[in-house]
Amino acid sequence: MSREVDLQIMWNRVISILEEQAMTLVRTAFSTSVREAGDLSAGVFDRDGRMVAQAVTGTPGHVNTMAAAVGHFINDIGPERICAGDVYITNDPWKGTGHLHDITVATPVFQNDVHIGFFASTAHVVDVGGRGYGPDAREVYEEGIRIPIMKWVDRGRLNDDLVTIIKMNVRESDQVVGDIHGLAASNETGRRRLVEMLTEFDMDDIDELAEFVFERTGRATMAALESVPKGVYRNTMTVDGYNSPVTLAVELTVTDEGMHADFTGTSAISPFGVNVPITYAQAYFTYGMLVALAPELPNNFASLAPFTVSAPTGVILNAQHPDPVSVRHVMGHFVTDLCLGAIAEAIPQTVPAEGAGALWNFQASARSANPGDELPPIELLMFNSGGTGARPELDGLTATAFPSGVRTMSAEATEQVGPIIIWRKEIRENSGGAGRQRGGMGQVIEISPTDGYLFEFSAMFDRIDNAARGRAGGEDGASGKVYLDDGTPFSGMGKQTVPADRRLILELPGGGGFGDPAERDPEQIENDKTQGYVS
């Protein structure tokens, strides 16, 4: 029993180490997407690449794909070339997190000159060259620099040639290279703290701790799965896509061994960069099932293992090289609601209505409105969220990112990094779907360039033509809108220009309602009116 107590203490200690690792990345990050929005992940892995634990700070799209990425690092570097003092790097969409803008860094851990595991971290960087962050590329080669798995640091020596190559291929070289150094620094923080802990407990490796974690987590995960009756469940969802609507389809099979999602019936690959590598689709399927069935469980190799996926090649949720994948988050974020909708009939008092789903990321290249002024170009990135779906017993959350979990950048932090004014950022009235429980509200954001700039703006929005659906009699949420302050409509996808004398207005979608609106508590109705949620 005393050994179990020791191992539980060490497990808790590892979680605190990982939070320190993540906070190191936040403190050292150059990009607002990391230091303000928390678009990152951090984790510790055993020598075989199995994730033992993750930091609470971070997004499921990052951490659940990173859980598979470390195995690729081991295979591509080769066990015989893993050395103390190394740091490895990649942004390969099919070996990392699904698109080039996420850079994953892994650092091996040695104890008494023996390799015992890894720390890994991922962050979204502001630019990777190419066309810039947006959906317009026709193949991955156009989307930016692709870094194969290789050594960023080789036995303590920085790979200066790789640093130079990256600097020469991105627009914001100081920010990007600075963020990579921040990733390496965060891993080093974790490595040092873990070595200190192992020395304190007189341990040579983390094998015993890993098995302790996996055994208990695996048993608890399978117990949670028992709440879903064995069988086959199906769901489809229609979303906007780029120029043509996209059908997302899933067939969930629940057995004694786990849960399998097959995406047969999903629309074909898009010619634009909204395609999703299947590892990213798996990340958001697994996340949705775990938050519905066992939200209190830790996330690690054993909790992820029972959830598997498949899809035919040639569908939008199984992109293959060299398909364009830059904004894979748009379709990928819908996978959670898609799969939750499939099991709604099995656990109706758990599954919420559909929400806004995909982030409404604002990515702009600020350029001189008058070419003769020769103002320096600046890249701007801002994350924004609509409303979540209403829950069986609670209203949806307003302007909250589900399932990604990232925060938005504050107006002040965004205005500090570039020529942008955020004129308003307010709750969007009447955007939450009516129901016994109301859908979460979207928001209205009004922004413009300043100081002689215009914006070359890459739209990557959805739910403009296809609103979030209500559940159990609840009404749909409001669909989104994008337009200039003079009424000029904008497309939800693709590069467009915001002139220097105009303001861009984003009306973000709301979440669907849950239950019959006639059953809503009169006090809640009055509160909605008082708060300005409904007119």
Enumerate the domain spans of the chain: 2-218, 352-535
For the stretch 12-25, pLDDT in tens is: 999 999 999 999 99
Which residues, listed in sequence order, are joined to residue 46 by a DSSP beta bridge? 117
Which residues, listed in sequence order, are joined to residue 420 by a DSSP beta bridge? 449
With 60 as the cut, is the pLDDT of residue 530 above it? yes
Higher-scoring residue by pLDDT: 407, 525 = 525
How far lies 135's CA from each of 138, 313, 378, in Å? 9, 20, 19
Residue 244's contacts (CB-CB under 8 Å, 6 or more residues apart) are none
Distance CA 69, CA 103 (A): 11
Distance CA 7, CA 20 (A): 20
pTM: 0.95
pLDDT band at residue 284 using 50, 70 and 90 as cut-offs? very high
The neighbour count for residue 70, using CB atoms within 10 Å, is: 24
Average pLDDT, the chain: 95
Residue type, 7: L
With 60 as the cut, is the pLDDT of residue 533 above it? yes
pLDDT score recorded for residue 409? 85
28 sits in which H/E element: helix 2-28
With 60 as the cut, is the pLDDT of residue 212 above it? yes
Contact predicate 252/339, CB 8 Å: yes
pLDDT score recorded for residue 417? 87
Residue 470's contacts (CB-CB under 8 Å, 6 or more residues apart) are 353, 354, 389, 390, 433, 434, 435, 439, 476, 477, 512, 513, 514
Distance CA 400, CA 530 (A): 21
Supply the DSSP symbol for 282. Answer: H
- Strand order, beta sheet including 246-254: 231-239, 246-254, 259-262, 307-310
With 90 as the cut, is the pLDDT of residue 410 above it? no
Choose among 122, 102, 108, 114: nearest CA to 22.
122
For the stretch 342-372, pLDDT in tens is: 999 999 999 999 999 999 999 899 999 998 8
With 60 as the cut, is the pLDDT of residue 1 above it? no
For 79, half-sphere exposure in the C-beta direction (CA atoms, 13 angstrom radius) is: 8
- From 2-11, 114-123, 160-169, the region with the lowest mean pLDDT: 2-11
Q: Where do the DSSP E strands lie in 374-461?
A: 378-382, 420-427, 443-449, 453-460
Peptide bond preceding 295 in cis form (omega within 30 of 0) = no
Average pLDDT over residues 162-175: 96
Distance CA 264, CA 300 (A): 27
